Amino acid sequence: MNQPMLWGVGTSDYGLFPERRVESLAWAAVSEAVRDAGISPAEIDAIVVGSVFGPPGVATRVQRGIGIPGVPMWTVENACASGTSAYHEAVEAVRLGRFGCVLVLGVDQMSTLFSGAIVPEATDPEGASSLPLPGLYALQAQRYLGEFGVTPEQLAAVAVKNKRNGLDNPRAQLRNKAPDIEEVLASRMIAEPLTFLQCCPTSDGAGAAIIGPDRGNRDDLRIEASAMVSGALWDHRSDDVWGFASVARAAEKAYAQSGRTPAEMDVLEVHDAFTIGEIMTLEALGIAPRGKGAELAPSGHTARDGAQPVNPSGGLLSRGHPLGATGTAQIAEIAWQLRGRAGARQVSRHRVGMVETMGGGAAGMDGNACVVTILSTQ
């Protein structure tokens, strides 16, 4: 068994770029990651791509431009967790010695498919019934309001925190101004209680990572754990809100692999597609007890200068959410944070970092997939 290491990361800018070829977003991310890893493209001996909306063949069109022909390559679709699922496969391949150096690419160009919210999937029982993703998260949020007494102000505090963080992220889609709680709550309703500023934007972008074994480079980050789980039934027997159990399953595996506890996580990037998502996720990750996750943003615990900063990049709420690229963007942010190179976004304690991505939307399942990974400096 090899110790998998993160050799390098790179991303494109995030935003709406319908005029750009999708490949150009990928090339920006890949070239930065290759330079960051200090390797020649010729050293890459496998490519794993995470993408939801493709288009079909995008991996090969990307490959054509970067001169890495003939290597094993495959594309993974696990909804919003596609990028981190691709990363997970690369990590496992390196751990098992199957490949020596794997390029991970996450990419999606949503602006060429949707002019607003994602159109629900017509083949899904709930998608066909016009359940939009913000509606699904709103149903979660209503449970939190009714069961735990969570307030709209607590939800809004997550958006305020992440959008403030995003001001310092030059690659974030939304970085012009940070709203206060009143402005978040006064923005137009999307699905009660989630307002517009509590929902991530539709985005284009790409992220890349280079994974390899320990090569004695002090700048490489140790991948202490990587866990990927698929969904399980979410039905009338489930007490948990939708999504909770899949995140908890992946987290349990990741903590077991690394031998670490939630309190040891110095900095986290988690799936805040909607404000309630960050709250639910932090509970499922054990950062807060059940029903208490909504207190973390208002208390400052998850602020950039708090005890456990969460989404210092601005999260999906600021950076944007090109589905397949999101996981790789999260990994890039944690890499920059752990190496102390996050600039104005830098958190003070940065030895151990966590990334969590949960993708979902298939009716009756607690997620399509969830990946949790723990990285550390050497």
Interface residues with another protein (CB under 8 A) are 16, 18-19, 55, 110-135, 138-143, 146-147, 188-193, 196, 199-202, 233, 235-236, 238, 273, 321, 363-364
The type of residue at 327 is: G
Of 199, 200, 271, 321, which residue is the catalytic one?
A: 321
Active site residue 370: no
Q: Residue 28 belongs to what H/E stretch?
A: helix 22-37
What is the 8-class DSSP label of residue 160? H
Q: How far is the CB of 177 from another protein (least distance, A)?
A: 15
Q: What strands, in cross-sheet order, belong to the sheet with 4-11?
A: 73-76, 46-50, 102-109, 204-213, 4-11, 221-230, 369-376, 352-359, 267-269
Nearer to another protein, 268 or 273 (CB): 273
| Nearest CA among 11, 5, 2 for reference residue 211 | 5
Distances (CA, A) of 135 to 65, 249, 366: 40, 24, 15
Of 80, 199, 200, 370, which residue is the catalytic one?
A: 80
Q: Residue 161 belongs to what H/E stretch?
A: helix 152-166
Q: How far is the CB of 324 from another protein (least distance, A)?
A: 14
Q: How far is the CB of 135 from another protein (least distance, A)?
A: 5
**Cα(308)–Cα(359) distance, rounded to whole angstroms?**
23
Strands 73-76 and 46-50: parallel
Nearer to another protein, 316 or 375 (CB): 316
Q: How far is the CB of 85 from another protein (least distance, A)?
A: 19
Nearer to another protein, 105 or 118 (CB): 118
Nearer to another protein, 130 or 261 (CB): 130
Q: How far is the CB of 198 from another protein (least distance, A)?
A: 8
**Cα(270)–Cα(278) distance, rounded to whole angstroms?**
7
**Cα(254)–Cα(247) distance, rounded to whole angstroms?**
11
Nearer to another protein, 147 or 214 (CB): 147
**Cα(304)–Cα(347) distance, rounded to whole angstroms?**
6
Active site residue 88: no
Positions marked active-site: 80, 321
